[in-house]
């Protein structure tokens, strides 16, 4: 349900209608014990999950993979809602063979990658946190690819990534997809929720018993509030009265890195490459893209790229510049004729998006524990959710979802204690 006019007073206000806010609001609504209102800055729900139609093909500009699908709460919801799950696993580990690497090179990359992960794990157990780049072998053959891979997985280069935080991420290695789009699933999950759109919250006044939320469309008061916003917004846009410097510093320690996508129409076939296969543009450059050829068997090449490289492409003009870069890399691998078969369909620009300003959170070295600080409630009245609050599934949709449910449970329990 969308609301243009909204109540001036509710029991619990949820700020943000991304995965975390949707999860919180669903939980609260299901309790039937409280009145709820979701305050959302955009004119849509889903936040950093967003499915758009490209020539009738669903394309996820944000979250796409049901990571750790065998432990992913949202995978169960997708099935309940009648969405189709695509169970084919990605070939991320072995994709080099599709990019022209020899079997020996691929084996070397896989062995080095394993060694790198163990080095991160060992470094994470030291008392002092440090940047993941410090475990790289100086001058190593695969260092540029490690960095590029980090911009896809962590949305940031290794020199800014905390080893302790990275080591806390849990990944069961099972990755599925939603055929209709992850974003569309989140939209369905929000179907009957009371959402006030176009209602950016700018200030949270928690001096008195009733919390006052100042929004672009007037003030709402609530007994409890759940802040389910990206760290960029908590750190820079939101003001709290009284101020909450610990919260805002924790959010700043967990900035959003950048990962972007470009969808190209492509109805041809690449010689020797199966549908759904991944390849990389270059194993020698940090500034390169990962390509998925004909995902789901559809006539598309999906390009994925991140970090400073993606930020530069956004700044330099977005989709046309991204598409020209992708065409150059694919032409270098498969010949110039491929250029004529590529038509840009859609591209993301998450850094420029005013209500995200990035893609997913990473911890700066020394800031792994900021996730706990950010997630902690304030006086049992203000609760925090969102992917960055997850201790082990940060940067994902299901991680965000779980923090939303946890915040809703805590908010309900705090009200229950009052009325008991």
Ligand X SMILES: Cc1cc2nc3c(=O)[nH]c(=O)nc-3n(C[C@H](O)[C@H](O)[C@H](O)COP(=O)(O)OP(=O)(O)OC[C@H]3O[C@@H](n4cnc5c(N)ncnc54)[C@H](O)[C@@H]3O)c2cc1C
- Contacts to ligand X by CB under 6 A: 15-21, 39-42, 47-49, 62-65, 67, 200-201, 228-230, 233, 237, 259-261, 348, 350, 355-356, 359-360, 386-387, 395-398, 400
Residue 19 or residue 223: which is nearer to ligand X going by CB?
A: 19
By C-alpha distance, which of 348, 133, 367, 128 is closest to 235? 367
300-306 sheet: strands from edge to edge: 278-280, 290-293, 300-306, 259-265, 343-347
Residue 140 or residue 173: which is nearer to ligand X going by CB?
A: 173
Residue 213 or residue 273: which is nearer to ligand X going by CB?
A: 213
Query: Which residue number is nearest to ligand X in terms of Cβ?
Result: 18
Residue 101 or residue 256: which is nearer to ligand X going by CB?
A: 256
CB of 35 to ligand X, least distance (A): 18
Lookup: tokens for 24: 């919180």
CB of 356 to ligand X, least distance (A): 5
- Check residue 23 and give left, alpha or beta (phi > 0: left; psi -120 to 50: alpha): alpha
- Interatomic CA distance for residues 387 and 21, integer angstroms: 11
- Interatomic CA distance for residues 374 and 247, integer angstroms: 5
CB of 307 to ligand X, least distance (A): 12
Residue 341 or residue 361: which is nearer to ligand X going by CB?
A: 361
CB of 268 to ligand X, least distance (A): 25
Give the contacts of 418 (CB within 8 A, at least 6 positions apart): none
Residue 68 or residue 143: which is nearer to ligand X going by CB?
A: 68
Other C-beta atoms lying within 10 Å of the C-beta of residue 244: 20
Residue 14 or residue 135: which is nearer to ligand X going by CB?
A: 14
Whether the bond between 380 and the residue before it is cis, its omega within 30 degrees of 0, is no
Please give the C-alpha separations between residue 38 and each of 68, 161, 183, 193, 307, in angstroms, as whole numbers: 28, 33, 18, 8, 32
Our measurement of the distance from residue 383's CA atom to the centroid of its chain's CA atoms, rounded to an integer in Å, reads 20
CB of 242 to ligand X, least distance (A): 19
CB of 202 to ligand X, least distance (A): 6
By C-alpha distance, which of 254, 251, 259 is closest to 164? 254
CB of 393 to ligand X, least distance (A): 8
Our measurement of the distance from residue 223's CA atom to the centroid of its chain's CA atoms, rounded to an integer in Å, reads 30
Buried b (16+ CB within 10 A) or exposed e, 378-404: beebbbbbbbbbbbebbbbbbbbbbbb
CB of 287 to ligand X, least distance (A): 17
Our measurement of the distance from residue 405's CA atom to the centroid of its chain's CA atoms, rounded to an integer in Å, reads 17
Residue 135 or residue 264: which is nearer to ligand X going by CB?
A: 264
CB of 61 to ligand X, least distance (A): 7
Residue 290 or residue 359: which is nearer to ligand X going by CB?
A: 359
Residue 351 or residue 367: which is nearer to ligand X going by CB?
A: 351
- Interatomic CA distance for residues 229 and 252, integer angstroms: 13
CB of 198 to ligand X, least distance (A): 10
Lookup: tokens for 388: 């960055």
Cβ pair 180, 79 in contact under 8 A: no
- Interatomic CA distance for residues 44 and 71, integer angstroms: 28
């Amino acid at each position: 349900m969308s609301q243009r006019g909204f109540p001036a007073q509710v029991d619990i206000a949820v700020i943000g209608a991304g995965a975390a806010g949707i999860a919180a609001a669903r939980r609260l609504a299901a309790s039937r014990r409280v009145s709820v209102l979701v305050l959302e800055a955009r004119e849509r729900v889903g936040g950093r999950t967003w499915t758009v139609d490209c020539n009738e093909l669903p394309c996820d500009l944000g979250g796409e993979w049901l990571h750790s699908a065998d432990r992913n709460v949202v995978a169960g919801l997708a099935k309940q809602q009648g969405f189709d799950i695509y169970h084919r696993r990605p070939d991320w580990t072995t994709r080099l063979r599709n990019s022209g690497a020899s079997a020996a090179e691929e084996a070397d990359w896989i062995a080095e990658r394993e060694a790198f992960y163990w080095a991160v794990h060992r470094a994470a157990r030291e008392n002092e946190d440090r940047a993941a780049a410090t475990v790289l072998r100086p001058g190593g053959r695969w260092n540029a690819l490690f960095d590029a891979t980090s911009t896809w997985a962590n949305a940031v280069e290794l020199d800014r990534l905390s080893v302790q935080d990275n080591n806390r991420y849990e990944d069961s290695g099972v990755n599925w997809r939603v055929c209709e789009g992850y974003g569309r699933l989140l939209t369905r999950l929000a179907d009957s929720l009371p959402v006030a759109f176009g209602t950016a919250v700018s200030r949270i006044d928690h001096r008195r018993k009733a919390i006052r939320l100042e929004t672009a469309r007037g003030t709402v008061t609530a007994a409890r509030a759940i802040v389910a916003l990206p760290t960029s917004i908590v750190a820079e846009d939101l003001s709290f009265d009284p101020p909450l410097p610990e919260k805002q510093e924790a959010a700043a320690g967990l900035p959003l890195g950048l990962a972007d996508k470009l969808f190209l129409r492509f109805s041809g076939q690449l010689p020797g490459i199966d549908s759904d296969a991944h390849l990389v543009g270059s194993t020698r450059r940090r500034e390169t893209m990962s390509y998925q050829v004909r995902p789901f068997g559809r006539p598309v090449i999906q390009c994925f790229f991140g970090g400073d490289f993606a930020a530069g492409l956004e700044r330099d003009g977005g989709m046309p510049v991204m598409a020209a870069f992708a065409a150059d890399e694919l032409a270098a691998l498969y010949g110039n004729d491929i250029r004529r078969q590529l038509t840009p369909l859609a591209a993301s620009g998450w850094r420029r998006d005013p209500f995200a300003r990035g893609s997913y959170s990473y911890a700066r070295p020394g800031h792994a524990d900021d996730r706990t600080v950010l997630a902690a409630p304030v006086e049992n009245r203000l609760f925090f959710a969102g992917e960055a609050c997850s201790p082990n599934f940060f940067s994902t949709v299901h991680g965000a979802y779980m923090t939303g449910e946890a915040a809703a449970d805590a908010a309900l329990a705090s009200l229950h204690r009052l009325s008991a």
